Amino acid sequence: MPGQPHVAYRDGELFVDDARLGLLAKEHGTPLFVYSKASMLAALAAYQRGFTGRKVQICYAMKANSSLGVLQVFARAGCGFDIVSGGELERVLAAGAVPAKIIFSGVGKTRTEMRRALEVGIGCFNVESEPELEVLNEVATSMGKRAPVSIRVNPNVDPKTHPYISTGLKGSKFGIAHERTLGTYQRASGLAGLQVVGIDCHIGSQITQEEPYLDAVDRMLDLVEVIEGAGIPIHHIDFGGGLGINYNGDQPPQADQLWTRLLSRLDARGFGQRQLMIEPGRSLVGNAGVCLTEVLYLKPGEQKNFCIVDAAMNDLPRPAMYQAYHQIVPVIPRSDTPTTWEVVGPVCESGDWIGHDRELGVQPGDVLAVLSAGAYCMSMASNYNSRGRAAEVLVDGAKVHVIRQRETIQDQLLRESLIK
């Protein structure tokens, strides 16, 4: 499929690599997330190609998909991880991550989270405010440690993406304003519990153009020159994540081509051999996954025809949250004349839609595949309407690993109690 070379029709049936999706739906039920390990590794390889001969640590932004089996693929491939909570820290450690390759982003780190991250020895805290700097210093000092820090700078660059996923603009809650950066570094370098190691930024997500990155690189390098000019060495520069994927004809730059161009900008300014870090999420997993869902009912109407499927906004929250587009295709196409459907889930909200105006020839019982569902779907899934979260399988060559069993109602009730 476009943008998803690991998802393809063979003899009239949709496959992920060598796995027949119709068969997987029968064996494991629906909704079911199916991921291709080969696709994840191919996406990682594109970044690695772009960085040949450079010093770079790729830290997978695990919020995109934090299932243990997925984390394991990246840990085994030598990746570091970008985390944003104590929960993500424990998850990624359980998946075999090397603590020194973990960086901790996020505007609201708690003392408990900081303590645990210092205890296991993470590589860097990406600090997002001056008060956070003071608290981290206190926590580290109380443990007799020095916390490695990088300041997240808000470069005030428009990533030209959905407003909810733009993070590097002035009005955003993320990072420290460009103008206050030097002062913040001076403060950090004077605190005994901190050790300045880097600088970082992250301007947004699903970025499909090159210019915002080039602008951010220039602004970051300007800052590094100023900070180092003031006598504070910056060991690494972290450019965050954000590279988009092809959902519906989007044409983001390829990771290797983008980085070849960004690196030539770094070279021109004399930073080509600096230790670099990046935090890609979506571009490593987004197009490695599909969500299989069964058609429950067809409900033709006067104004709209509804195709009601068994996946909903609790499984696939992106359409409801960002008006996001995911392609929807039949696993076994029919020869019936297609009809225009509103593809919707069973959740009791009008916002529970998966796709508007989709041309599909479908019958109840058919299985549909919602494409590009590897990123920000399962990791954002909820139990709304007391729906159990879906199962997940990872296709690995000829093997299919169940990496998450379907959540049962017992799982959901486990931590709740009736009043006495």
Query: Which residues here bind ligand LLP, judged by CB under 6 A?
Result: 61, 63-64, 82, 105, 165, 167, 202, 205-206, 240-243, 279-283, 318, 322, 376
- Measured from the CB atom, is 15 or 47 closer to ligand LLP? 47
Shortest spacing between CB 283 and ligand LLP, in angstroms:
6
- Measured from the CB atom, is 17 or 279 closer to ligand LLP? 279
Q: What phi and psi values does residue 276 have, to the nearest 5 degrees? A: -115, 155
DSSP assignment string, 158-200: ---S-GGGB-SSTTSSSSEEGGGHHHHHHHHHT-TTEEEEEEE
Q: How far apart are the first and last CA of the chain?
A: 55
348 is catalytic: yes
Cα–Cα distance for residue pair 341/82, rounded to 1 Å: 39
- Measured from the CB atom, is 353 or 376 closer to ligand LLP? 376
Contact between 114 and 88 under an 8 Å Cβ cutoff? The reply is: no
Shortest spacing between CB 6 and ligand LLP, in angstroms:
19
C-alpha separations of 183 from 117, 176, 180 in Å: 26, 10, 6
Work out the widest C-alpha separation in the chain, in whole angstroms: 71
- Measured from the CB atom, is 138 or 210 closer to ligand LLP? 210
The angle at the Cα of 26, spanning 20 to 30, to the nearest 5 degrees, equals: 100
- Measured from the CB atom, is 375 or 400 closer to ligand LLP? 375
DSSP assignment string, 359-381: EE---TT-EEEE-S-SSSSGGG-
Shortest spacing between CB 159 and ligand LLP, in angstroms:
9
Residue 350: strand, helix, or coil: coil
Ordered alpha helix ranges (H), 51-172: 68-76, 86-94, 111-120, 130-142
Shortest spacing between CB 100 and ligand LLP, in angstroms:
18
- Among residues 59, 291, 348, 377, which one is catalytic? 348
**Number of C-beta neighbours around residue 270 at 10 A:** 10
Shortest spacing between CB 354 and ligand LLP, in angstroms:
14
Cα–Cα distance for residue pair 237/200, rounded to 1 Å: 6
Per-residue tokens: 270: 């004399």
- Measured from the CB atom, is 64 or 224 closer to ligand LLP? 64
Shortest spacing between CB 331 and ligand LLP, in angstroms:
24
Active site amino acids: 348
